[in-house]
Amino acid sequence: MGLQALKGKKLKKKTSRARARTGLAGVPIEKGFNAVKDYFHLHVDKKDCISQMKTWVKKNFPAASKYILTNPEYKFTMTHHAATAFWYNNDLNKSNDADNNTAKGFLNHLFDKMIPLIDEGKILYEEKQRERKAQSNVITISPQEKLTRKINNTIMQELLELEDKWIDGEDATINIYDRFKYHGLTNTAISHVKPMIEGWLLDYEDAFHKRCDQAVEGYSHLKRSALNHRIKVCQAMLEDLERIRSATKASRNIKIKRPKSIDKQVSKVQYKKEDNDFKIVSINPIQIPTKTRLYAFNTKSKMIIEYVTESPNGFEISGSTIKNISKGLSRTVCLRKPLDFLPIVLQKTPKQINDAWQTLKTKTKVPNGRINKDTILLRILDKWK
């Protein structure tokens, strides 16, 4: 087709088809109540039906709605009830007189269905209120009280049973270490158990060694062999308690403080980015954490600083302070001729820098780790040797 033909032909304008509305957005209210009722039956899900019913109940039963709505949700899923509720929730009865008689009939039926739900819901509502009140009256037990109850119901009962066997003349014993493990008890239970065993041991030793007349008289019915057996059992139990204490400490988890992320460590560092007099520029401080050797220069005091760390974590930074520095290896000295010494620091190896450092006449000191707005961060290295 030629250009002239295209000019003479009228082009049709493309139009996009409107997306079909679904759910409550697609209710055909313009077609009347019966169409709305049929649409609810076919195209509106239970969730929306329940929502329309709850809205209608709140409007028409302001005082009793809490009772009605306590009923199970299946009571509010009937589609013709939901359609009626929708019709009146949106005041459609005022604009469509032709359908009012039909809608009124369904409205009366809806009222008839909801009124009995008041008494039914009231029973359920009051039951739920009683349950909430009972839950609020529940007495909570502290962890310490729970532990005490557990000790009293387990190991303490077994110790009392052991004492009963002794009274009956049995040479009974107990492996208190194993019993602690069986009941899941740790060294926190020792303070409850130990006084009882120590009390037994004191009485039996007083009777055996005749240190107390009352103890001697109280256990006069026992042979010395029986007293000796009980003393050994008590001593073994006390030794086991100490083993439990040591075992608990050995297995205790140790919290390791994690270092801050590098960007957080350097967020508040104060340093000098560049100095035109000495013609030097700072490295980015983000390079310092985890490294082992740092050279810095204070442009105001003319102090050259060598920071060294032996920490396996390398340097860390807190505020404007270098952490983990090894004071025996780190040093600082005032330079009389900075322009001669700074190129050595920037270009040479640590050994060559050390050789040049030894020729300086000023006194070398131990640095404190703080850097400030006059400090140029010259160079960073990974090895401290």
pLDDT in tens, 75-91: 898 888 999 999 988 88
Answer whether residue 361 is part of any domain: yes
Measured CA to CA, the distance from residue 54 to residue 351 in angstroms comes to 85
Measured CA to CA, the distance from residue 283 to residue 356 in angstroms comes to 23
Query: Residue 14 — very low, low, confident or very high, per pLDDT cuts 50/70/90?
Result: low
Measured CA to CA, the distance from residue 356 to residue 2 in angstroms comes to 90
One domain for residues 266 and 377 = yes
**Four-point Cα dihedral 172, 177, 180, 186, nearest 10:** 150
Answer whether residue 256 is part of any domain: no
One domain for residues 179 and 215 = yes
Give residues with Cβ within 8 angstroms of 282, minimum separation 6.
271, 272, 273, 274, 376, 377, 378
Give residues with Cβ within 8 angstroms of 107, minimum separation 6.
84, 88
Mean predicted confidence (pLDDT) in 164-178: 92
Answer whether residue 14 is part of any domain: no
pLDDT at 384 over 60: no
The answer to whether 295 touches 376, Cβ cutoff 8 Å, is no
More confident residue, 20 or 331: 331
One domain for residues 321 and 346 = yes
| Single residue among 102, 131, 160 that ends a domain in this structure | 131
Min mean pLDDT across 18-22, 140-144, 145-149, 230-234 is at: 18-22
Answer whether residue 169 is part of any domain: yes
Answer whether residue 365 is part of any domain: yes
| Single residue among 249, 275, 295 that ends a domain in this structure | 249
One domain for residues 230 and 329 = no
One domain for residues 276 and 245 = no
One domain for residues 376 and 266 = yes
Answer whether residue 339 is part of any domain: yes
- On average, the pLDDT of the chain sits at 87
Helix axis angle, 190-208 to 143-153, nearest 10°: 40
Give residues with Cβ within 8 angstroms of 127, minimum separation 6.
none
One domain for residues 236 and 290 = no
Per-residue pLDDT tens over the stretch 56-115: 999 999 999 999 999 998 889 888 899 999 998 888 877 656 667 788 888 888 899 899
pLDDT at 12 over 90: no
Mean predicted confidence (pLDDT) in 19-39: 83
What pTM value is reported for the model? 0.41
Quick count: other Cβ atoms within 10 Å of Cβ 363? 8
Measured CA to CA, the distance from residue 132 to residue 228 in angstroms comes to 60
| Single residue among 249, 284, 306 that ends a domain in this structure | 249
Portion of the chain with pLDDT greater than 90, in percent: 55
Cα–Cα distances in angstroms (integers) from residue 138 to residues 86, 125, 128, 130, in the given order? 43, 20, 16, 13
pLDDT at 6 over 50: no
One domain for residues 371 and 271 = yes
Measured CA to CA, the distance from residue 173 to residue 163 in angstroms comes to 10
Mean predicted confidence (pLDDT) in 291-318: 93
* Count of domains forming the chain: 3
What range defines the domain where residue 293 resides?
A: 262-381
Measured CA to CA, the distance from residue 101 to residue 107 in angstroms comes to 10
Answer whether residue 205 is part of any domain: yes
Mean predicted confidence (pLDDT) in 315-321: 91
Give residues with Cβ within 8 angstroms of 101, minimum separation 6.
none
Mean predicted confidence (pLDDT) in 143-155: 91
Answer whether residue 298 is part of any domain: yes
One domain for residues 194 and 285 = no
One domain for residues 355 and 266 = yes
One domain for residues 162 and 202 = yes
One domain for residues 287 and 245 = no
